[in-house]
Amino acid sequence: MAEAEKILEKDHYGLADLKQRILEFIGVAKLSGSLRGSILCLVGPPGVGKTSIGKSIARALNRKFFRFSVGGIRDEAEIKGHRRTYIGAMPGKIIQALKVCQTMNPVIMLDEVDKIGSSYHGDPASALLEVLDPEQNSEFLDHYLDVRCNLSDILFIVTANMLDSIPEALVDRMEVMRLSGYIMEEKLEIAKRYLIPKNRKHMGLKATQVEFTKPALRQLINGYARESGVRTLENSIKKILRKLALEIVRQNEVVPTSKRSIKKEPAGSSYTITPEELPKYVGKPVFHSDRIYEETPVGICAGLAWTSMGGATLYVESIKIPSEKTEMKLTGQAGQVMKESSEIAWSYLHGAVHKYAPGHTFFEKSQVHIHIPEGATPKDGPSAGVTMVTSLISLLRNEPVMQDLCMTGELTLTGRVLPIGGVKEKIVAAKRSGLKVVIFPKDNLRDIEELSDEIKKGINIHFVEHYDEVFKIAFPDAELPAI
């Protein structure tokens, strides 16, 4: 157990839940003598280390490791084998894995299971049902072997970027573990402990020749590598190290003269990378502050969104234009669900205008234009409902919302605030933008309690069940009339 724990700590930083689950596997295996019925599904954005975790698990269990990608596979014979009557017939990938590993209990990783295809040849996702079902895989039948094969001692690890495209029956057979990505502090540690030493060795540089300051790494993460994983961060570090290697080689190169070649003395150059030097090596920052407004004007409210790159701050802007009839227009490449959210926000406020803006009529003879900036980026999801209502109330009352405030939550026509996803990413986005007050649905309390104190530090989180509570926080000077 101690050796397994040591391997997991050495190979990966953070991911405490996942490491705990793997140690539980080992504990159960020690007592029962097998790991039957264990299929792990690691779901998370690209670059968070799903594939490398599989290798670490195999090392921790002291088992052979075999990985193959099922992304793009369209023929179920890739899984279950071809019948021997066909030319070029061969066993399926599972039996091939056992042949390569020469053991009946390897760790087999099925990568990119959410990108599996299907065609007239068959449906590979359905073929995986028998392989990954603990009740069935002890009697697995490969068409080439035509002999029953016991797969129950294999530990299967499945990876995916999202669960939406995986058939429900397949998800049901797996234990899903989410890797939601890394926050700034975790990325700093990963860069210092793993990425810089590993790539420095690959580039042939010594530890004395290059040093990254902490502010430089912070700037690199914030300005160039803001995604959930660390792949872009590693590529940026490689880019810097390559340029340093070139400079060092140029300093030490042989200089030809007319009579003889004179070799320069090796320069004992050492480079310290500071934030000011980053543009010289990796160009101008790719990302700028998510925060568009330092002081939020009337009709504008900050929301929080989940994207494949992690979390982002999403502003909702509202203005009114004189018109013959009262109507609403939505722009900003919003998806169908978000369009419906805007209609719900419009109808809800229309019915409750006497409560939130007493003495005001509901946008009579005005066209209200709601816009979500960054129009080139498609946006969808129900979690902007409360943000849209708050933006409309701010416009109607001609009063700005509370400063440093952002919110997320799905709104119903009765004013209930329903839970949303991507809690960790959204809190990280709020911290990055310097927004100190965050409103979350009360049903997300459990998700936030599971987060570490480091992530929640410096953020004042309010939990709400009804929009009335959102209104009191967003407009602290206003009073709700007694109804």
Q: Which of 178, 194, 221 is the last residue of a domain?
A: 178
Expressed as residue numbers, the domain containing 459 is 300-474
State the pLDDT at residue 216: 92
Active-site residue, 383 included: yes
Among candidate residues 80, 379, 426, 431, the one labeled active-site is 426
Q: Are 53 and 173 contained in the same domain? A: yes
Q: 178, 201, 232: which is the final residue of a domain?
A: 178
pLDDT for 400 beyond 60: yes
Rounded to the nearest integer, the mean pLDDT of the chain is 86
In a domain, 261, yes or no: no
Q: Is residue 383 part of a domain?
A: yes
Determine the pLDDT at residue 482: 60
Residue 257 has pLDDT above 60, yes or no: no
Nearest-angstrom CA–CA distance, 240 and 191: 13
Q: Is 410 a domain residue?
A: yes
* Interatomic CA distance for residues 295 and 55, integer angstroms: 48
* Residue after which a domain boundary falls, among 178, 204, 238: 178
3-state secondary structure of 211: strand
Domain assignment present for residue 254? The answer is no
Is 481 inside a domain boundary?
A: no
Least confident window among 28-37, 136-145, 277-286: 28-37
Domain shared by 393 and 459, yes or no: yes
Do 174 and 190 reside in the same domain of the chain? no
* Spatial contact of 372 and 315, defined as CB atoms under 8 Å apart: yes
pLDDT of residue 37: 62
Is 124 found in the same domain as 30?
yes
In a domain, 317, yes or no: yes
Instruction: Kindly state whether residues 436 and 336 are assigned to the same domain.
Output: yes
Residues 354 and 371 grouped into a single domain = yes
3-state secondary structure of 109: strand
Q: How many CA atoms lie within 13 A of 38 on its CB side?
A: 21
Higher local confidence (pLDDT), 451 or 336:
336
**304 and 354 assigned to the same domain:** yes
Q: What is the CATH number of the domain that holds 60?
A: 3.40.50.300
Residue 35 has pLDDT above 80, yes or no: no
Q: Is the per-residue pLDDT at 410 higher than 90?
A: yes
CA atoms within 13 A on the CB side of 401: 35
pLDDT of residue 258: 52
Do residue 223 and residue 155 come from a single domain?
Answer: no
Instruction: Verify whether residue 38 is a known catalytic residue.
Output: no
Could you tell me which residues are beta bridge partners of residue 334? 379
What is the percent of the chain where pLDDT is above 70? 93
Question: Do residue 155 and residue 217 come from a single domain?
Answer: no
**Assigned domain for 255 exists:** no
Residue 287 lies in a domain: no
According to DSSP, the β-strands at 254-256 and 261-263 are antiparallel
Instruction: Indicate the angle between helix axes 2-11 and 16-32, nearest 10 degrees.
Output: 150
**Out of 342, 383, 391, 433, which one is annotated catalytic?**
383
**129 & 196 share domain:** no
Q: Are residues 171 and 27 in the same domain?
A: yes
Tell me which of 195-204, 244-253, 297-306, 387-396 is least confident. 244-253
| CATH code of the domain covering residue 204 | 1.10.8.60
User: How far is it, in rounded angstroms, from Cα 417 to Cα 465?
Assistant: 5
Q: What is the pLDDT of residue 265?
A: 47
Pure H helices in 195-335: 196-202, 214-223, 231-252, 278-282
**What's the number of domains the chain is made of?**
3
Helical (H) or strand (E) element with 43: strand 39-43
| CATH code, domain carrying 416 | 3.30.230.10
Q: Are residues 278 and 169 in the same domain?
A: no
pLDDT, position 235: 93
The Cα-based distances of 279 to 197, 238, 372 in angstroms read 22, 15, 31
What is the predicted pLDDT for the residue at 303?
Answer: 92
Decide if pLDDT at 120 tops 70: no
